[in-house]
C-alpha cells in the first residue's frame, strides 16, 4: 500500500486522464512515432504531477559520499529507506569516444543502471555537457560566440557535430529492455541557456541560432537516426519573466517538458523557486506539457531544515512532475553533496520530506507501472 494519501482534486484529475472523454484525444509526446512505452510514460507523468512531486537525484545508483559502484546502494536509500523516483545521468565526454563520463562514471555502467532503474519502474533523465565542437574545450568554454552557428547546416563544424550526435544516438539506441525495444528516457540537452556559462548560452548565440540547434538535434535523432523512445526537455536557469523563459523556446512541436534549474545561492531562494515554478507549471499546462524542476540543490550542511522549508513548501501548491537534486560526489569535486546522505545535518529533515504526503519516491510509483 502506498504511503501517500492523494488529495481529492488531484485524484479527480488523474481519473479524468485515465478514463478520458468520448472524442477527447489523449496526450501525446511530440514524436508521433514514439514507442508505446514512451507514450505511456508521458501520459503517466502528466497524471502523477497532479498527485504529488516526484523526487530525483543525479547519479544516485553510481556513487555517493564515500562509495563507488556498490550494487543496490543509494545515499537517498541510506537515509530514508527508499530510492528516488527519478534518476539523472550525465553523458558528457560520450562524444569523445572515451569509456567514461566527465563525472568518471563508465558509460557501460550508466547503461546498466538505466536498465535497473527501468526494471524497478523508475524514470531516467539524461543531460549532456558536451565539449565545445569549435574550440575543443569543455562545455564551459565560452571563448567564442560562433560555436552554435558553426554546427548548424552550412557551418564549418556541421559534419563534425553530426559525429557527436551519432555517438549520442548509438548510446541511446543501446538502451534496450528484455524485449529489445528502447527504454524511454527524458533527454535534456542545451540546458541553462538563459545564462552564459555554456557554449550554447544566451550571450554566445542568437535566439534563432539556439532554436535551430534544438530543431536540428531533435530532427536528426528522431528522423535520421530513428530514435523513438525519447522525451525532450527544455530547461532554463533562473528567470524573471515569462518572456525571458520563452525567448529561446524552440517550439511546442519538439518539446515535451518545460523545466528550469535553480540552486539555492542565498536569501530569496524559496520565493524565486516558487515564482519560477508557478510560471513553468502554468506554461506547461497551457501547452499540454510536463513541468519539472530539472536541477536543484542547496546548503544542506548548514541549513538542517532545507528539504522541508526551502524546497518542499515553495513547491507544495504547484503542479510539477519532479524536482531533481544534483549529485553527491564521492570525493574530489568542487562542490559539496546536494543530495541527502548519512551523517548530514539535514538527514532527519529529509526523512520528514520523504514522509510528507506530497512527495513521491520509488515505492510510490512502482505500482503505478509508468510504462504501461
239-274 confidence digits (pLDDT tens):
999 999 999 999 999 999 999 999 999 999 999 999
Mean pLDDT within 126-130: 98
pLDDT of 24 over the 90 cut: no
pLDDT of residue 331: 75
**Percent residues over pLDDT 70 in the chain:** 93
Mean pLDDT within 352-363: 98
How far is it, in rounded angstroms, from Cα 87 to Cα 89? 7
Mean pLDDT within 217-226: 98
Any idea which residues carry the catalytic annotation?
192, 295
pLDDT of residue 37: 98
Average pLDDT, the chain: 94
pLDDT of 4 over the 90 cut: no
> Given pLDDT bands bounded at 50, 70 and 90, which one contains residue 143?
very high
pLDDT of residue 171: 98
> Given pLDDT bands bounded at 50, 70 and 90, which one contains residue 23?
low
CATH number of 8-366: 3.20.20.80
How far is it, in rounded angstroms, from Cα 177 to Cα 113? 12
Q: What are phi and psi of 301, to 5 degrees?
A: -75, -20
pLDDT of residue 6: 39
pLDDT of residue 7: 40
**What is the tens place of the pLDDT at every residue in 333-347?**
778 999 999 999 999
Cβ-proximal residues to 89 (8 Å cutoff; 6+ apart), any chain = 58, 59, 105, 110, 113, 114, 124, 125, 126, 127
For the entire predicted model, the pTM comes to 0.93
> Given pLDDT bands bounded at 50, 70 and 90, which one contains residue 330?
confident
Amino acid at each position: 500500500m502506498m504511503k501517500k494519501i492523494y488529495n481529492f482534486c488531484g485524484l479527480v484529475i488523474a481519473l479524468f486522464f485515465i478514463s478520458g472523454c468520448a472524442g477527447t484525444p489523449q496526450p501525446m509526446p511530440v514524436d508521433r512515432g514514439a514507442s508505446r512505452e514512451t507514450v505511456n510514460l508521458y501520459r503517466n507523468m502528466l497524471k502523477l504531477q497532479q498527485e504529488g512531486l516526484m523526487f530525483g537525484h543525479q547519479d544516485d545508483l553510481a556513487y555517493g559520499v564515500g562509495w563507488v559502484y556498490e550494487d543496490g546502494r543509494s545515499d537517498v536509500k541510506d537515509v530514508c529507506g527508499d530510492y528516488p523516483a527519478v534518476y539523472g545521468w550525465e553523458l558528457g565526454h560520450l562524444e569523445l569516444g572515451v569509456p567514461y563520463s566527465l563525472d568518471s562514471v563508465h558509460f557501460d555502467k550508466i547503461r546498466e543502471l538505466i536498465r535497473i532503474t527501468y526494471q524497478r519502474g523508475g524514470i531516467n533523465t539524461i543531460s549532456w555537457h558536451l565539449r565545445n565542437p569549435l574550440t575543443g574545450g569543455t562545455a564551459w568554454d565560452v571563448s567564442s560566440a560562433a560555436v552554435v552557428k558553426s554546427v548548424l547546416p552550412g557551418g564549418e563544424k556541421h559534419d563534425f557535430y553530426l559525429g557527436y550526435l551519432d555517438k549520442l544516438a548509438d548510446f541511446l539506441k543501446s538502451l534496450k529492455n528484455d524485449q529489445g525495444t528502447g527504454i524511454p528516457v527524458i533527454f535534456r540537452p542545451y540546458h541553462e541557456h538563459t545564462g552564459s556559462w555554456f557554449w550554447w548560452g544566451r550571450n554566445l548565440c542568437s535566439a534563432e541560432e539556439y532554436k535551430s540547434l534544438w530543431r536540428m538535434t531533435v530532427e536528426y535523432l528522431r528522423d535520421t537516426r530513428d530514435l523513438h523512445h525519447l522525451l525532450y526537455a527544455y530547461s532554463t536557469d533562473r528567470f524573471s519573466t515569462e518572456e525571458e523563459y520563452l525567448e529561446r523556446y524552440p517550439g511546442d512541436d519538439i518539446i515535451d517538458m518545460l523545466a528550469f534549474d535553480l540552486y539555492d545561492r542565498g536569501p530569496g531562494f524559496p520565493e524565486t523557486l516558487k515564482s519560477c515554478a508557478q510560471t513553468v507549471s502554468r506554461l506547461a499546462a497551457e501547452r499540454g506539457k510536463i513541468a519539472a524542476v530539472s536541477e536543484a540543490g542547496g546548503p544542506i550542511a548548514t541549513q538542517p531544515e532545507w528539504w522541508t522549508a526551502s524546497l518542499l513548501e515553495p513547491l507544495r501548491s504547484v503542479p510539477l512532475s519532479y524536482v531533481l537534486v544534483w549529485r553527491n560526489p564521492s570525493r574530489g569535486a568542487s562542490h559539496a553533496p546536494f543530495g541527502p546522505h548519512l551523517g548530514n545535518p539535514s538527514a532527519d529533515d529529509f526523512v520528514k520530506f520523504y514522509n510528507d504526503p506530497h512527495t513521491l519516491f520509488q515505492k510510490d510509483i512502482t505500482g503505478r507501472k509508468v510504462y504501461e
